[in-house]
């Protein structure tokens, strides 16, 4: 007997991470339903998929209830503005997609008896007082600050996902995604990697916020996608950190981008945004042990690929 093709629904499927997931699932011959309201997603990310007969795009805001005909086997809830610039521009939408959007996506998972994955974030740790961050750390978040709209929405999203798991026995997973970069980040995205590459390629000043001593740990998109797929096939219901534990200061990142692009840009220092985390680095012991996952792409290699993509797009 030929087994029926599985259907996967990706919210935020036209976004940076979501579109890479759609690519992978289409290639794996799953039926893919991509749901996106295109606030921060872009049709350009999925044009290559529109002609495939196992891909369907539905323009819809998941903060509003959704009806889907037929069976759905997996739901990956990745819809949300994720750049600080975006979630400060769309604070209400960010809160709504984390809260109402997650509720709707879980409701659909319940109705369809689908496996569910929530895209959570290292932002649930806020400006962390524990370093590096294990999954057991409860975080240090300012609920009423400008980043609170994203951080608290994702914290609520984790809470409602666990409640649906406990009460409705939803087969759920929660991934805490640390800074990820790669092709398809928008030039005007506002995050450090696309900003620095865009500025370096234009030979205009590189804007480092604060004194650049704050740290981040950057994971290449292909490594993240591997982690997502491994977690989806696991039966781990508690949050799992997925990220690259190699930590860099933002000033170091700016210097590496300058070197790799051969840019003439100089570094200029701008005020540090409110509540900007001073340090961030995942402990990935759980992902290594339980998923047999760890990132493979060194920063230099990932940046080279990203820079090549920025040059041609």
Instruction: Specify the long-range contacts of residues 17-21, CB closer than 8 Å, at least 24 apart.
Output: 17/78, 17/119, 17/177, 17/180, 17/221, 17/224, 17/225, 18/45, 18/76, 18/78, 18/79, 19/45, 19/46, 19/184, 20/182, 20/184, 20/221, 20/222, 20/225, 21/76, 21/78, 21/225, 21/228
Only one residue has tokens 């993240």, namely 224
Nearer to ligand UDP among residue 89 and residue 229 (C-beta)? 89
Q: What is the largest CA-CA distance in the chain?
A: 64
Nearer to ligand UDP among residue 24 and residue 305 (C-beta)? 305
**Residue nearest ligand UDP, Cβ-based:** 191
**Minimum gap (Å) between residue 272 Cβ and ligand UDP:** 6
**Minimum gap (Å) between residue 188 Cβ and ligand UDP:** 11
Picking from 222, 227, 220, 213, the residue whose alpha carbon sits closest to that of residue 246 is 220
Residues within the interface to ligand UDP (CB under 6 A):
83-84, 179, 191-192, 195, 207-209, 214, 216, 250, 272-273, 276
Only one residue has tokens 């970069």, namely 181
160 burial via Cβ count (<10 Å: 0-12, 13-18, 19+) = middle
Cα–Cα–Cα angle for 129, 142, 218, rounded to 5 degrees? 55
**Minimum gap (Å) between residue 32 Cβ and ligand UDP:** 28
Cα–Cα–Cα angle for 206, 122, 195, rounded to 5 degrees? 15
Q: Which of 125, 150, 164, 181 is catalytic?
A: 150
Picking from 288, 282, 279, the residue whose alpha carbon sits closest to that of residue 250 is 279
Nearer to ligand UDP among residue 85 and residue 236 (C-beta)? 85
d(CA 262, CA 209): 22
Nearer to ligand UDP among residue 25 and residue 196 (C-beta)? 196
Q: Is 269 a catalytic residue?
A: no
Nearer to ligand UDP among residue 118 and residue 250 (C-beta)? 250
Q: What residues act catalytically?
A: 150
């Amino acid at each position: 007997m030929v087994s029926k093709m599985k259907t996967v629904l990706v919210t935020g499927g036209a976004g940076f991470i979501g579109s890479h997931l759609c690519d992978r699932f289409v290639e794996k011959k799953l039926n893919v339903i991509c749901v996106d309201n295109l606030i921060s997603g872009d049709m350009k990310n999925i044009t290559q998929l529109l002609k495939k007969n196992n891909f369907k795009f539905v323009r819809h805001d998941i903060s509003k209830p959704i009806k889907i005909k037929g069976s759905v086997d997996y739901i990956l809830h990745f819809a949300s503005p994720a750049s600080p610039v975006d979630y400060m521009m769309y604070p209400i939408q960010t809160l709504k997609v984390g809260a109402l959007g997650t509720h709707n996506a879980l409701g659909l998972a319940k109705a369809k008896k689908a496996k569910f994955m929530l895209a959570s974030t290292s932002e649930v740790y806020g400006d962390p007082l524990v370093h590096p961050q294990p999954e057991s750390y409860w975080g240090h978040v300012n609920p009423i600050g400008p980043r609170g709209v994203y951080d608290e929405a994702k914290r609520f999203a984790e809470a409602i996902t666990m409640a649906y798991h406990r009460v409705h026995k939803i087969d759920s997973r929660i991934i805490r995604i640390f800074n990820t970069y790669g092709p398809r980040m928008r030039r005007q995205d506002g995050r450090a990697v696309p900003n620095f590459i865009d500025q370096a390629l234009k030979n205009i000043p590189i804007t480092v916020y604060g004194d650049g001593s704050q740290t981040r740990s950057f994971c290449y998109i292909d490594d993240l996608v591997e982690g997502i797929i491994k977690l989806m096939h696991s039966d781990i219901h508690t949050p799992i950190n997925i990220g690259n534990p190699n930590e860099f200061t933002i000033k170091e990142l700016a210097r590496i981008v300058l070197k790799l692009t051969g840019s003439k840009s100089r570094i200029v220092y701008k005020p540090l945004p409110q509540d900007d985390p001073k340090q961030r680095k995942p402990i990935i012991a759980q992902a290594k042990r339980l998923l047999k996952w760890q990132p493979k792409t060194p920063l230099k290699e990932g940046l080279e690929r990203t820079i090549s993509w920025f040059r041609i797009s």
